[in-house]
Amino acid sequence: MIAFVSGSVAALAPDAAVVEVGGIGMAVQCTPNTLSTLRLGQQAKLATSLVVREDSLTLYGFADDDERQTFELLQTASGVGPRLAQAMLAVHSPDGLRRAVATADEKALTAVPGIGKKGAQKLLLELKDRLGEPLGTGGPAIGTPVTTGWREQLHAALIGLGYATREADEAVGAVAPQAEAMEGTPQVGQLLKAALQTLNRTR
């Protein structure tokens, strides 16, 4: 198992980063929250989980070991693959997920794209004794973004991808109506893709 990768950030995309490790570029799938902490050309260390399939080897990257462990525990529930587990961590912090499961908060889980009411009920039953208790009383509330808000997350992600502050400001403004139309917590991953399309049209 590849426990972590450490090196210079060689490239950034809406859902992945390339980290140069010993002269080799390692493509790592990450959430927008994790990507927003990375900067091109700067050193980074990501906890990783390697998902092996018959036709692919995919490396998923996380800000810390707690995120990686939560990612792997989520996949022990039936119907939860790496993509859905990553989507859950894009919406909630590990402790936010632990609180959601501990308090049987269906609404928190249905805020994740791909999880409906019945799916949330099933996950609450299956994960009840797997994720453990919340580690702290602080941190983001259930159903809120991991950082201060979607605008800040999106802006930081665009800056991390190499766009100028002015361009990031304009892109955030352009997708604001789409964000406001979303039910519950705006999905930063979807907004990032829309923002990149907007920027590509203006270039």
- According to the model, what pLDDT value does residue 141 have? 39
- The SS3 assignment for 100 reads helix
The rounded distance, in Å, linking the Cα atoms of 23 and 142 is 41
Residue 47 sits in the same domain as residue 83: no
Choose among 116, 23, 28, 34: nearest CA to 67.
Answer: 34
Domains identified in the chain, total number: 3
Residue 41 sits in the same domain as residue 89: no
- According to the model, what pLDDT value does residue 92 have? 87
Residue 34 forms part of a structural domain: yes
- According to the model, what pLDDT value does residue 199 have? 78
Domain boundary, last residue among 84, 112, 127:
127
Is pTM beyond 0.75? Reply is no
Residue 181 sits in the same domain as residue 157: yes
Residue 47 sits in the same domain as residue 76: no
Domain that holds residue 86: 65-127
Instruction: Tell me which residues of the chain have a pLDDT lower than 50.
Output: 137-148
Domain boundary, last residue among 112, 127, 142:
127
Residue 145 forms part of a structural domain: no
Domain boundary, last residue among 16, 45, 62:
62
Residue 58 forms part of a structural domain: yes
- According to the model, what pLDDT value does residue 202 have? 54
